[in-house]
Structure 1
Amino acid sequence: MLRETLDNGIVRYRFETLDQKDMVHAILTRLGGVSRGPFATLNLGHTVGDDLEAVEENHRRVFAALGLRRDRVVSPYQVHSANVRWVSDAHAGTVQPATDGLITDTPGLVILFRFADCVPVLLFDRAHRAIGLVHAGWRGAAKGIVTAAVRAFVRHIGSRPEELWAGIGPAIGPCCYRVGSDVARAVARACPADVPIAHRRDGGVYLDLPGAVRAQLVASGVGEVETSGICTACHTGEWFSHRAERGRTGRFGVVMMLQ
């Protein structure tokens, strides 16, 4: 992944594969905003207890740094579901209810999601010039959010899974994500049986959530999958982590837009 610093010290990461595809995409860190305390500094979450004026200023900074229009943004109200929606010009400026995946082929429509350990999945259809974003926590992975997103590409624009590219962004890794056995089993049931997605260590079970998402993408036929390899819980200097910060933290943003 490529790392760069924008105006006001905002830091974004990019997948090099997407750099020449006439699109804007940014995996933002927690750096470059005005929020304080556990939300320092570029918190984009409105529902985490942060000062809302600070959150709005953070959004203003992000859109200015990326050259995006706020009135063209569509976001989901993320609920750890397997719900995926197709969005277009008619949805600009809206929040889509109970949704964890958005896809579009509309140029200029900005998709914005928020994360703090769950897996960001960026999707791109080379042939049809369509993009998608997915929020995959363990519940969403167990419910099949990744497969649902691939099927939505096929259903809405006739995508061929082998022509899709997927990027797995920063998320909590197997080094840090200790879970109950029931959680590991639920995710494992939604993955190919021959792919290990958890291991035991120090008397506990540790889930490889990015690995599970990757396995689901491959099983869905996605032709190319890249992984950031960044653990949010290991690197709280750059990323918000719900687990590492015991639930009192902000949300970093991931943005995609076709030009």
Structure 2
Amino acid sequence: MSRRTESPEPGPLGPWQYVQNALYYLHVAVATLIIGLAGIPLVMAQGRKGANRVATRWIGYMLWAAKLHLGVTCEVRGTPPTGDCIIAAKHQCFLDILTIAHAAPERAFIMKREVMRVPIMGWYAYKVGCIPIDRTKGRDAMRTISAEINKRVAGEGLGQLIIYPEGTRTKPGERRSYKHGVGTIRAGTGLPVVPVAVNTGLFWPRKGWGIRPGRAVVEFLPVIDPDVPQEGLIPRLEAEVETHSDRLMAEAGFTYELVERS
């Protein structure tokens, strides 16, 4: 199934709003360079702890700059987890990445190997504990990741592993099939799964241009009952995340209807 919006499309952005978008990206690019380089001594002295301190400062700065330049903020609802867990979130745009990562004190992502080769950002991703994935290896890649997670849990700890079950960003009102990764990792590690609902795409488009002012919401939902059987995990996760994301979007005035995908 896919979705079609019933709400009227917003009017086009004015020229000044595009200028504001450009100023934001220029601002955060310079800030990334400065904060990243300035934080290197702290990372060298404190390792992962120092990397997380720098990451929290950097992400917070990017959120502040979004409010300054673009007039967009993000409210966090629910209780962000602090222990080892899997955060399984709806993903609509860059804003929900920032907000979830800022709320999680020891955040880490499963990300493409290529991203971890990006200067500064890739180095910090490695230092905070992000795990590279080779998507060409399918289920074998997820089993390798589960083994790495167990190793970390038994050692210095994993933190909050952020995963997007749909595998990509989706437009408001769009739904894609949830992939097996969360279930494979839970089966291999026994980690609790924390669903997260969002409505961020109503304000911040997938491609990052045409950002509109407003107050978006990211909501941490209760941990999925560990007694939910393996075969029922992904349907339960999808129902939780999609239902609550729909509710958040409806609060912001967005409606839709389900239609058959052509």
Give the number of the structure whose residues are more often helix, by fraction. Answer: 2
Higher relative contact order, structure no. (Cα contacts within 8 Å, ≥ 6 residues apart): 2
TM-score, shorter chain, exceeding 0.5: no
* TM-score, scaled relative to structure 2: 0.25
Give the number of the structure whose residues are more often strand, by fraction. Answer: 1
* TM-score, scaled relative to structure 1: 0.25
